[in-house]
């Protein structure tokens, strides 16, 4: 098998299993938190790292929200777990600044959680693993888009970076931002992120004291996130409140 076909095949396989990444990160976080010494940070240093971690994850959520809230139905920005889907090429708005904003958002959301372990080596390791993993996925997606849209895709890809945004060729999105789309599609990702922070916080306390401490801010935030998720999921599945014509 030619290397280009091997990359595409493995990318499609990784795409279908990308939802398993959080499980791997949760498992890796256990020994990392256990063996990481952070006394050298001090209280002020820990506070600064906590703020930075939350800010990075929130930035990732904003990028995903902008992408999802401005994506019309059937575009290249709406792939499914079963495979690549695209009836039209999405190259407006945020897609005129970066070709894979959703994956950039994923990276930032998970980087914030990883940084919360206070282990900077772990941040580097996860960043490298993310690059190797998603590089194959992006390769497979772009092969699909190139075959589907030909020169239109090539023109867009040549002037739009894959992962690090550039605003020099930005042009406004033709589809207005929809908060309904974000509420309908992003609640599970937000819950997973909050769960990640709470998991690390509880794990760290357990390793320090030998017992779980439930009266913590992270637990309260997680409880609120679960309630909001259940409400949004119920609205999505049992009502038409979030339905919008022309939206995925």
Structural domain spans, the chain = 3-176
Residue range 90-103: average pLDDT? Answer: 91
Q: Which long-range contacts (CB under 8 A, 24 or more apart) does 218-225 make?
A: 221/194, 221/197, 222/194, 222/195, 222/198, 225/190, 225/191, 225/194, 225/195
Mean pLDDT, the chain, as a whole number?
87
pTM of this structure: 0.89
Does the domain made of 3-176 have the CATH classification 3.40.50.970? Answer: no
Range from 15-19, 83-87, 195-199, 242-246 that averages highest in pLDDT: 195-199
| 190 C-beta neighbours (distance < 10 Å), count | 19
pLDDT tens-digit profile of 32-73? 999 999 989 999 999 999 999 999 999 999 999 999 998 877
Q: Quick one: CA dihedral 207, 208, 212, 217, positive or negative?
A: negative
The alpha carbon of 100 is separated from its chain's Cα centroid by a whole number of angstroms, namely 11
pLDDT tier at 248, thresholds 50, 70, 90: low
80 forms beta bridges with: 83
How high is the pLDDT of residue 78? Answer: 46
- The pLDDT > 90 percentage for the chain reads 52
How high is the pLDDT of residue 64? Answer: 95
């Amino acid at each position: 098998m030619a290397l280009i076909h091997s990359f595409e095949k493995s990318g499609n396989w990784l795409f279908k299993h990308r939802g398993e990444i959080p499980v791997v990160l949760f498992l890796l976080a256990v020994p990392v938190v256990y063996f990481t010494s952070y006394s050298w940070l001090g209280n002020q240093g820990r506070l600064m790292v906590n703020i930075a971690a939350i800010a990075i994850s929130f930035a990732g959520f904003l990028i995903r929200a902008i992408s999802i809230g401005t994506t019309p139905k059937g575009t290249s920005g709406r792939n499914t777990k079963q495979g690549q889907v695209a009836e039209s090429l999405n190259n407006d708005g945020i897609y005129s600044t970066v070709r894979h904003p959703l994956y950039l958002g994923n990276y930032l959301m998970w980087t914030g959680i990883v940084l919360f372990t206070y282990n900077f080596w772990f941040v580097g390791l996860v960043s490298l693993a993310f690059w190797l993993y998603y590089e194959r996925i992006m390769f497979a997606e772009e092969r699909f888009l190139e075959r589907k849209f030909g020169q239109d895709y090539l023109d867009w890809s040549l002037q739009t970076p894959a992962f690090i945004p550039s605003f020099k060729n930005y042009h406004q999105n033709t589809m207005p931002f929809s908060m309904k789309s974000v509420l309908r599609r992003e609640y599970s990702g937000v819950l997973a992120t909050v769960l990640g922070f709470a998991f690390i916080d509880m794990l760290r306390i357990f390793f320090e004291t030998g017992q779980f401490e439930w009266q913590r801010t992270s637990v309260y935030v997680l409880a609120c996130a679960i309630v909001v998720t259940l409400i949004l999921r119920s609205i999505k599945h049992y009502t038409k409140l979030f339905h919008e014509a022309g939206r995925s």
